[in-house]
């Protein structure tokens, strides 16, 4: 595609090309013909290899450098004029220092390579919610992934027109040296510079970098919410549609929930996916919160994905998918730990080495990925391209807790809901930290992705209440509570539909609640347990509220609040104090 006439864009591309010194500059148009041609170039260069086209038509496989397999939080920086603006939970670098340091790394980094200009839109092409980004990259792998994950090419240039309002993203794999790896965000400049990594979240700049880190900064400035949330559509047998957004940290079943298949007892119910990872939410003319999914594909973790945990994800990755760091079968199929069927006798592992059944080494990297077009999802909502988005009736927060947090808890009000989101978290494992059961707080599942000070971010959530005349209900859920035998009490997966159905009934005013000192819970009989794969005793334990555990839980949150520092909203601290007093009072009554 010839370079566009937009002089703002052309002058910036020329400036970056002068710095990086590529052999050529290629402007992506996003066409099918281009995708086929770039794929062929990637295969010829050894970046990708074709998979078995009978089993996986249009699918290709790539391996990353073994030192480059995940997001690098310790090398991810928020570059604001003051450290206070970045806050205590982010790494900070002075913008002038960051530009100077990375400019030296970019100098000549693309010699012998092509600079791909990747114009893209985050959000539906015609939506006022959407944002235009331009990523300059020396990686054909990144260009092909961005073509799946975003609305990429001419559509973005048409949206931009002659304007200057676009995110400026510069990316170079360079030599993939971890010592020269930085992912820097400049919120005031609407700019992202990433160098030294070719891995997903570090290199696909539209995803976490723009959609969340820069997005959250813009959202605060412009009066909306950019959140690490799935969006799903639930349709009842009567045709009533309800939309919910949900925030879960990693390994808490987010994509599974977005693509859930209801259990047999819920015949006639349909769950459809609007988005599996990110939600941009604004207040609509009707006073409700409306959400769009800014993405156009799924960048999912392969291990553990199978026809039991997520059949719709498995169907989504049968064609036109890029696989990264999974294992390969002798006949050119893909495999990972947790995939359906027998473990193959021999494989080629994610590093390219021979692998035999019974090996103690993982065949697929634990963070191996698939990049699949959203259109492949058989349960895709027809609202995914709606410029207005969808109206949100419930916001759900959920972590992984083996004790204390019940199956579902409804917030008393917006402030209580923001408090629940601000203190949610998951327990660590011995393998990760050396201590079991330590709660890692992850406010709204945004801790690694908030583009500015976390306390101010919670303040923005509180301020949003005054903008939303008809706010959604807010919930805390926990699918992972365990019994004394260490086994999960709740079956999860499709049975989570039972909790969702109660939330839907709440949104439409069909059921009431039982109030407790820490939040509202379902009344006896309102949670549909017909055919549930759990005993009444297990369900009772999963939904139980232990006030002694909650007194400890509320006490332990002070350490987290102290870490957030002086910008923690007073309303959040007061909420904790009020709940603690209510719990102590209730315990005294129980003991009397």
What's 280's domain CATH number? 3.90.228.20
User: CB of 563 within 8 A of CB of 87?
Assistant: no
User: CB of 116 within 8 A of CB of 152?
Assistant: no
What tens-digit pLDDT sequence spans the chain (592 residues)?
A: 777 889 999 999 999 999 999 999 999 999 999 999 999 999 999 999 999 999 999 999 999 999 999 888 999 999 999 999 999 999 999 999 999 999 999 999 999 999 999 999 999 999 999 999 999 999 999 999 999 999 999 999 999 999 999 999 999 999 999 999 999 999 999 999 999 999 989 999 999 999 999 999 999 999 999 999 999 999 999 999 999 999 998 878 899 999 999 999 999 999 999 999 999 999 999 999 999 999 999 999 999 999 999 999 999 999 999 999 999 999 999 999 999 999 999 999 999 999 999 999 999 999 999 999 999 999 999 999 999 999 999 999 999 999 999 999 999 999 999 999 999 999 875 444 345 568 999 999 999 999 999 999 999 999 999 999 999 999 999 999 999 999 999 999 999 999 999 999 999 999 999 999 999 999 999 999 999 999 999 999 999 999 999 999 999 999 999 999 999 999 999 999 999 999 999 999 987 5
Is 300 among the annotated ligand-binding positions? Answer: no
Distance CA 303, CA 339 (A): 7
Distance CA 348, CA 345 (A): 11
Is 495 among the annotated ligand-binding positions? Answer: yes
Following CA atoms 339, 367, 488, 561 in sequence, which dihedral angle do they give, to the nearest 10 degrees? -160
Is 18 among the annotated ligand-binding positions? Answer: no
Distance CA 458, CA 447 (A): 11
Is 341 among the annotated ligand-binding positions? Answer: no
Question: pLDDT value at position 592?
Answer: 53
Reduced 3-state DSSP string for 390-409: EEEEEEEEECCCCCCCCCEE
From 200, 222, 244, give the residue that closes a domain. Answer: 222
Residues 104 and 136 in one domain: yes
Residues 233 and 215 in one domain: no
User: CB of 140 within 8 A of CB of 17?
Assistant: no
Q: Which structural domain, as residue segments, surrounds residue 286?
A: 227-296+382-586
Question: pLDDT value at position 293?
Answer: 98
Grouping H, G, I as helix, E, B as strand and the rest as coil, residue 237 is coil
What CATH number is attached to the domain comprising 154?
3.40.449.10
Residues 209 and 243 in one domain: no
Is 255 among the annotated ligand-binding positions? Answer: yes
Tell me, yes or no, whether 153 lies in a domain. Answer: yes
The residue from 20, 176, 184, 252 that is catalytic is: 252
For the whole model, what pTM was predicted?
0.97
Residues 180 and 287 in one domain: no
Residues 264 and 166 in one domain: no
Residues 160 and 14 in one domain: yes
Is 256 among the annotated ligand-binding positions? Answer: yes
Residues 159 and 198 in one domain: yes
Tell me, yes or no, whether 470 lies in a domain. Answer: yes
Is residue 252 flagged as an active site residue? yes
Tell me, yes or no, whether 318 lies in a domain. Answer: no
Distance CA 370, CA 325 (A): 9
Tell me, yes or no, whether 315 lies in a domain. Answer: no
Distance CA 227, CA 295 (A): 12
Question: pLDDT value at position 71?
Answer: 85
Question: pLDDT value at position 435?
Answer: 59
Residues 18 and 83 in one domain: yes
Tell me, yes or no, whether 76 lies in a domain. Answer: yes
Distance CA 170, CA 154 (A): 19
Residues 404 and 547 in one domain: yes
Tell me, yes or no, whether 319 lies in a domain. Answer: no
Is 496 among the annotated ligand-binding positions? Answer: yes
Tokens of 108: 């000549």
Distance CA 8, CA 2 (A): 16
Our separate counts of H helices and E strands in the chain read: 17, 31
Tell me, yes or no, whether 38 lies in a domain. Answer: no
Is 362 among the annotated ligand-binding positions? Answer: no
Radius of gyration of the chain (CA): 24
Residues 426 and 513 in one domain: yes
User: CB of 116 within 8 A of CB of 138?
Assistant: yes
From 201, 222, 243, give the residue that closes a domain. Answer: 222
Tell me, yes or no, whether 347 lies in a domain. Answer: no
Is 107 among the annotated ligand-binding positions? Answer: no
Domain count, the chain: 2
Residues 116 and 215 in one domain: yes
From 222, 238, 262, give the residue that closes a domain. Answer: 222
Residues 271 and 197 in one domain: no
Other beta carbons less than 10 A from residue 439's beta carbon? 21
């Amino acid at each position: 595609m010839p370079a566009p006439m937009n002089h703002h864009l052309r002058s910036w591309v020329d400036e970056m090309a002068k710095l990086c010194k590529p052999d050529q500059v290629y402007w992506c148009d996003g066409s099918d013909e281009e995708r086929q041609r770039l794929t062929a170039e990637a295969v010829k260069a050894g970046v990708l290899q074709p998979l078995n086209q009978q089993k996986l038509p249009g699918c290709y496989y790539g391996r990353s450098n073994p030192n480059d397999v995940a997001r690098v939080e310790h090398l991810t920086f928020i570059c604001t004029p003051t450290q206070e603006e970045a806050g205590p939970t982010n790494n900070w670098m002075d913008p002038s220092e960051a530009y100077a340091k990375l400019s030296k790394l970019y100098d000549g980094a693309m010699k012998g390579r092509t600079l791909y200009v990747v114009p893209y839109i985050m959000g539906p092409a015609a939506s006022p919610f959407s944002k235009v980004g331009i990523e300059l990259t020396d990686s054909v792998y990144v260009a092909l992934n961005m073509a799946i994950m975003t609305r990429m090419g001419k559509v973005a240039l048409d949206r931009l027109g002659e304007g200057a309002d676009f995110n400026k993203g510069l990316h170079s794999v360079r030599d993939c040296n971890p010592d020269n790896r930085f992912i820097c965000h400049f919120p005031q400049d609407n700019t992202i510079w990433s160098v030294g990594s070719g891995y997903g979240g570090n290199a696909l700049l539209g995803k976490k970098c723009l959609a969340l880190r820069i997005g959250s900064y813009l959202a605060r400035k412009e009066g909306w919410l950019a959140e690490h949330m799935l969006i799903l559509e639930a349709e009842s047998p009567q045709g009533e549609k309800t939309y919910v957004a949900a925030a879960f940290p990693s390994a808490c079943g987010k994509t599974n929930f977005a693509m859930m298949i209801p259990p047999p007892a819920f015949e006639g119910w349909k769950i459809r996916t609007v988005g599996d990872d990110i939600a941009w939410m604004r207040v609509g003319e009707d006073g409700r919160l409306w959400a769009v999914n800014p993405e156009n594909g799924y960048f999912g973790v392969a291990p553990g994905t199978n026809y039991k945990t997520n059949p719709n994800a498995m169907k989504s990755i049968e064609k036109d998918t890029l696989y990264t760091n999974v294992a390969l079968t002798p006949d050119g199929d893909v495999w990972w730990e947790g995939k359906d069927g027998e473990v193959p006798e021999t494989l080629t592992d994610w590093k390219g080495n021979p692998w035999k059944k019974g090996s103690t080494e993982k065949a697929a990297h634990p963070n191996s990925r698939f990049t699949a077009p959203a259109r492949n999802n058989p349960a895709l909502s027809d609202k995914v391209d709606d410029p207005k988005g969808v109206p949100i009736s419930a916001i759900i927060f959920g972590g992984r807790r083996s004790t204390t947090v019940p199956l579902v808890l409804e917030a008393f009000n917006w402030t209580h809901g923001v408090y629940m989101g601000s203190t949610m978290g998951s327990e660590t494992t011995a393998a990760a930290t050396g201590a079991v059961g330590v709660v890692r707080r992850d406010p709204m599942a945004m801790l690694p992705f908030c583009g500015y000070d976390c306390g101010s971010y919670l303040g923005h959530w509180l301020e949003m209440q005054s903008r939303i005349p008809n706010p959604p209900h807010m919930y805390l859920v926990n699918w992972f509570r365990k019994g004394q035998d260490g086994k999960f009490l709740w079956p999860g997966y499709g049975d989570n539909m039972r909790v969702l159905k109660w939330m839907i009934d709440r949104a439409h005013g069909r059921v009431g609640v039982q109030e407790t000192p820490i939040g509202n819970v379902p009344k006896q009989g309102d949670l549909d347990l017909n055919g549930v794969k759990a005993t009444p005793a297990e369900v009772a334990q999963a939904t139980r509220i232990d006030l002694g555990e909650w007194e400890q839980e509320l006490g332990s949150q002070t350490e987290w609040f102290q870490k957030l520092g002086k910008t923690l909203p007073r309303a959040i601290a007061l909420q904790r104090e009020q709940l603690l007093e209510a719990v102590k009072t209730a315990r005294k009554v129980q003991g009397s």
